[in-house]
Every structure is written in C-alpha cells, then in structure tokens.
Amino acid sequence: MEFHVSLAGRGDLSARIYRQLHEAVLDGRLRSGERLPPTRELARQLAVSRNTVALAYERLTAEGFLVGRVGAGTFVCATPPAPAGVPVAGAGVVPPRPVWQELATADTGTAVPLPYDFGVGVPDARRFPIEAWRRQVARQLRELAPADANYGDPAGHPGLRAEIARHIGLSRSVRVPPAQVLVTSGAQQALDLVARVLVEAGTRVAVEEPGYPPARELFTSFGARVAGVPVDAAGVDVRAIPAGTRLVYTTPSHQFPLGPPMSLTRRTALLEWARRTDAVVIEDDYDSEFRFADRPLESLHGLDRGDRVLYVGSFSKTMLPMLRLGFLVAPPSLMPALLAAKRLSDRQTDVTTQGAMAGFLADGLFVRHVRRSTREYAARRAAILAVLRRDFAERVEVVPSTAGLHLAVWPRGDVDVPALVERAAAAGVRVEDMAGYYGFGPGRPGLVIGYGGIAPDRIADGLRLLGEVW
C-alpha cells in the first residue's frame, strides 16, 4: 500500500515518520492486519536512508503497534484504543448554517426491521422482476461503445427521455416532447433542481399540511419562507394559500399522506390562482400508477394551458428505491437553467441504469410489472381494510383513498398515538404516526398504515398485535 508521510519542516526524520505512522494506527487509517511498505521502498519514496525508516519501524514494533513476519513483511497489530484526552480532528469548529443544524436531526429514513412492517412508501422488492432487469442492464453493458463511456447529456439518456414522454402521455395525459423531460436521480433531486432555479432566500413557498416532509425541508434549506396550506377531502385549500406565494408543491393525484385526490374544482382553482398571481405549481405524481378504483382525474399538467405546472415523477415506488430514477417535466423557458443546475449538481444520472430503464419501458416490461404489482397491492389493501372494518370499526375512521401504497386512519376518541406507535413497535409492528407529516402545528392525531413492504401472510397477525397493544 502507499502511505503519505510528510517530512516538511525541521527535526529528526525518523521521529517524524514514527509519529505519523503512530497517529495513523491510532485513528484507524492504518487498520489491523494491513501490510506496511518495506523499509527500502518507503525510504525510496521519501528520499531518506533505509536506516531512518527502519528506526521508526523498530520503535513502533517495540511499542506493540507493528509486528514483523519473516518472509512476509511488517504488519499493523490489533489497533489499540486512542489514549484518553487525545483531541479528535475536526471536532466541529466550522458550524453549518443554522437551518442545517435543525435538518441534521431529522429522521434519515432508515429503520430497524420489524417482523410486521406496515411502513410507508416502500414497495415490495420481492415482486421486482430482477431477472428481466438484469438482462436489460447486461444488454447496456454488452453494447457499450468507447464513446458511450464518456460523460453523458445532463438531460438524460435520449431513449429514456423519449420513453418517459410516451409513457406519461398515454397514462397521465402529460403531452410533451422528450426535449421537455429531464431525467433525475429520484423525485427528490427534481425538487432540488427546481429550488435551485426558482427559490432564493425569502421566496414564499406553500406546501400541503399535512404533507411530504422532505419537500418542506428542502425548500426550507434554500432559505424559502415555507407555509403550510390545509388539506381536506377535496385537496389543498386554494383560498388558504398565503399572499405573495411564488411556488406551490402539491400531490393532487393521491394526496400524501391522507390519500384523496384533488377535486376537479380545486385543480381548476389552483391553476387559475397560479395564472393570476404569476406563480408556479409543482405537481408530484409520486405513485399514481397504483390505482385500485375509479378512473384517475386528468393531471394538473394536462389541464394547464399556461406553462405554470412542473410535473415530477419517480420510479422509486414502481421499481426499486435503490435505482434512484425520477424525472421532471418543465416548460421550455426553464429547461436551460434546469440543465445547468443538473450539470452543476451531479453532472448526470447513471447512464447504464437509464439505458436499462429505457429498454424496460420500450419492451412493455414496466407496464406488465405495474399491472402485476397493482393486483398484489390491491389484495393487501383489501385484506387490511377488511380487518379494520371488522376489528377496528369502533376505534378508527379510514380516510377514503383509491391509490398508492398506504392508508391513513383517524382514531376515534382520545388516543395517545405516539405511545401507541411505541407499544406497537415493541410488539414487532411498525405503523407511522401522522404527526410526522405535519410541519406547522400538532395537527389531527392519526396513523398511517403501509402495505407495500409487508408480506400478505403477515397482515392479519400484524393487525391483531396492533389491536392487542391498543
């Protein structure tokens, strides 16, 4: 291995080599069992005599940090603990902006696995057609030309942009050319790019309340003045949008986390408000593919006639979250700025994954996968609803919803929801507290029950345990 040793300054060279190796072992840069360069080689790299390096090695060996093995070389011994009182490098002398100190304490999204996981926003990885996906990835690598290995277009793989435009045009009435489609690393990056281009310190942004926490936190991190707008059975209350708002984030097809779609009256009112106030609407269509009843209402983008709506989509729920694939549909006036933001953000989304997704869409595999998954999720949803209506009828009111991967319920009576969630987790059942989706006040106590990640044969037992701890 190569190891950098600085000999700048004055003093005993051997002592300086010893000190830097000693510190590297203590702080873990040199790990137990690693082989150090031979004394002759390190001496040549440092332009010092071999004896100078040998003296440092001998001292470290005598102190138990190194061990020599005949015919094999010099190795690091089991790393001893750092002596008490040794300061840790970089212990926080440079603080972040205050907003990031607050956001750093937020939930990272990782959770300890539980036997009965009714977590939200998680698709069933066991249903993913891994062999079909592997063939698409293998084809991309097999057909890779040297020219393709260079940096790609920040806007995304041309084939994937074309397939996305075709897919959303057919399924969601979002009729745009591929040139207005920007491939992103998930929906969250799409929101980040919009914020980079449209939001500055003090910009008034409105989000749904309750709503999607990462969107609220993202706009806050850019210095926006974020306000919550109440949501009811018809969607976001357009009349409650604060004066001076320049950007509204909404989930009209399947409100997150409550579930109901935004009514046509509200959609029309929101578009008229955006036109009248010269504002922009972000339509997050995060899991509209999983629909179990009713015909979907036309997207906001499909109703928009003034280029006021930016349409955000994601493959995280329909495919796998680990693939980090999403997209943004924007008007031509914003595309140059968004492309520049994408280039400065991460240059491009992984080209191999994009190419594989393009093939997955073009070959009809995506539609087939969504169809199968929808049938499976519909069965799980029906099983949960049956138990809730039979065993929890006096305890909860189910919020009407016809799409997505979760259900929201309002407890009847006085229920300590945080304590209930804790007791359920202790019994091996994960459900989510609605309080986590409110950002501007305590909100109405509620529970969110997901069915994307739980096996069908665990639903009944999981809900039975929930009932017992209730």
Q: How far apart are CA 347 and CA 127, in angstroms?
A: 32
CATH no. for residue 450?
Answer: 3.90.1150.10
> Which H, E and C letters describe 276-322, residue by residue?
HHCCEEEEECCCCCCECCCCCCCCHHHHCCCCCEEEEEECCCCCCHH
Do 313 and 193 lie in one domain? The reply is: yes
- State both tokens at 211: 């709503």
- State both tokens at 48: 């010092």
User: Considering the entire predicted model, what is its pTM?
Assistant: 0.84
Residue 106 lies in a domain: no
The domain of 243 spans 126-366
Residue 188 lies in a domain: yes
Residue 422 lies in a domain: yes
Do 30 and 159 lie in one domain? The reply is: no
Phi, psi of 366 (to 5 degrees): -65, -50
CATH no. for residue 176?
Answer: 3.40.640.10
Do 320 and 409 lie in one domain? The reply is: no
Q: How far apart are CA 9 and CA 121, in angstroms?
A: 57
Residue 207 lies in a domain: yes
Residue 67 lies in a domain: yes
Do 342 and 413 lie in one domain? The reply is: no
Do 10 and 41 lie in one domain? The reply is: yes
Task: Name the 3-class secondary structure at 101.
Answer: helix
Do 323 and 462 lie in one domain? The reply is: no
316: number of Cβ within 10 Å: 21
Q: How far apart are CA 237 and CA 423, in angstroms?
A: 35
CATH no. for residue 2?
Answer: 1.10.10.10
Residue 110 has a pLDDT of: 64
Residue 106 has a pLDDT of: 66
- Domain closes at, from 301, 332, 366: 366
Do 53 and 150 lie in one domain? The reply is: no
Residue 134 lies in a domain: yes
The answer to whether residues 297 and 253 touch, using CB atoms and an 8 Å cutoff, is yes
Domain count, the chain: 3
Residue 429 has a pLDDT of: 97
Kindly state the DSSP code that residue 391 receives in the 8-state scheme: H
Length of the chain: 470
First to last CA, the chain: 58
Do 231 and 270 lie in one domain? The reply is: yes
Do 266 and 353 lie in one domain? The reply is: yes
Residue 107 has a pLDDT of: 61
- Domain closes at, from 342, 366, 390: 366
Give me the residue label for tokens 């980040």. 192
Do 361 and 376 lie in one domain? The reply is: no
Q: Which residues contact 117 (CB under 8 A, 6 or more apart)?
A: 430, 450, 453, 454
The answer to whether residues 123 and 320 touch, using CB atoms and an 8 Å cutoff, is yes
- Domain closes at, from 308, 340, 366: 366
Per-residue pLDDT in tens (0 to 9) along the chain, 470 residues: 677 888 887 778 999 999 999 999 988 889 898 999 999 999 999 999 999 999 999 999 999 999 999 888 999 987 565 554 555 555 568 888 888 888 887 665 567 889 999 999 889 999 999 999 999 999 999 998 887 788 889 999 999 999 999 999 998 989 999 999 999 999 999 999 999 999 999 999 999 999 999 999 999 999 999 999 999 999 999 999 999 999 999 999 999 999 999 999 999 999 999 999 999 999 999 888 898 876 767 899 999 999 999 999 999 999 999 999 999 999 999 999 999 999 999 999 999 999 999 999 999 999 999 999 999 999 999 999 999 999 999 999 999 998 899 999 999 999 999 999 999 999 999 999 999 999 999 999 999 999 999 999 999 999 999 999 99
The answer to whether residues 312 and 190 touch, using CB atoms and an 8 Å cutoff, is yes
The answer to whether residues 436 and 123 touch, using CB atoms and an 8 Å cutoff, is no
Do 360 and 372 lie in one domain? The reply is: no
Q: How far apart are CA 257 and CA 209, in angstroms?
A: 9
Residue 108 lies in a domain: no
Do 354 and 385 lie in one domain? The reply is: no
Residue 109 lies in a domain: no
